[in-house]
Amino acid sequence: MALTTLDGLVAASKQRFNWYKASVSTEGAGTFSSLWTAAGFPSAGATPATGSGAIPDRTTTGAFPLTAWAGGAAKKYLARLAAAGATAGQLIIYDRLWHNSGLSGTTTTSQTINSTALTRYPTVGGNYVGVEPWLEVYTAYGATGSTFTLTYTNEAGTGSRTSTYTHPANAPTATQMIPFPFQAGDKGVQSIQSFSLTPSTATAGNFGFTLLHRLAQIPISAANAGGVLNFLDMGGAELLDGACLSLMVLCSATSTGIMTGDLTVAEG
């Protein structure tokens, strides 16, 4: 059942994780880096399937190993999140809804994706509202400046929507994540159809897209300083059945440094 009182939150069954992620190289201050493939706990996730990709869930290697939902009216929530790191920045926890890989930085014709249908978040805040597309780098592509264009279907089911990102004249870093903006008026993404770029970046690399739903963001104000968010700080963020909880960092330096913390999930 929904947790609607503090007494209910206190009485709820809970699962607690102490998490640890090894340092990863980043593109630098003001960029985002994924901790999906970083060693530690949760263990490193694998590069996802190519093409239409895959739907990760709580059982996928790389995700926080949540217990199964009890069924019926049972609901899970983020109850507490703590984080500390060797460099200042912000830690973001999100539900990883879909991901793929296999895109090339040298192919200038349209690269077909046709993403697998999402199984979570079709109705949070309205149809697919809050589902965001992010480019995720697994092997760096080239340093030649290029215009990237993503074609997608928006939250209302309108197809042929486009999102454009201008790739600067420098190579990205493996683990880098790049948010793609919505076309004006859109509030979410239901599916991705294709990707194109022009001109070639000069190196193919290996990258893909991740569709995600952000749940909470915790500041790390200074090196080795920690932050804590409670249930109310996170707005009673609900985890839908099978959630693939994952982490990324808004960076302030060229590495994330070792990051540690704890996470409590409550079920009512």
Output the pTM of the full model.
0.95
**Band of pLDDT at residue 125, cut at 50, 70 and 90:** low
Residue pair 172/141 in contact (Cβ under 8 Å)? The answer is yes
In eight-state DSSP terms, residue 7 is H
* pLDDT band at 268; cut points 50, 70, 90: confident
Number of H helices, E strands in the chain: 1, 16
Tens digit of pLDDT for each residue in 115-124?
999 999 876 5
**Could you tell me which of 166, 138, 139, 137 has the C-alpha nearest to residue 150?**
166
Q: What is the mean pLDDT of residues 172-195?
A: 97
What integer pLDDT is reported at residue 78 of this predicted model?
Answer: 96
| Average pLDDT for 184-194 | 97
| Domain regions of the chain by residue span | 48-66+74-93+102-267
Give the pLDDT confidence of 59-113 residue by residue, as tens digits.
Answer: 999 999 999 998 766 899 999 999 999 999 999 999 999 999 999 999 999 999 9
- Residue 181 preceded by cis peptide, ω within 30: no
Measure the CA angle with vertex 262, ends 260 and 266; round to 5°. 160
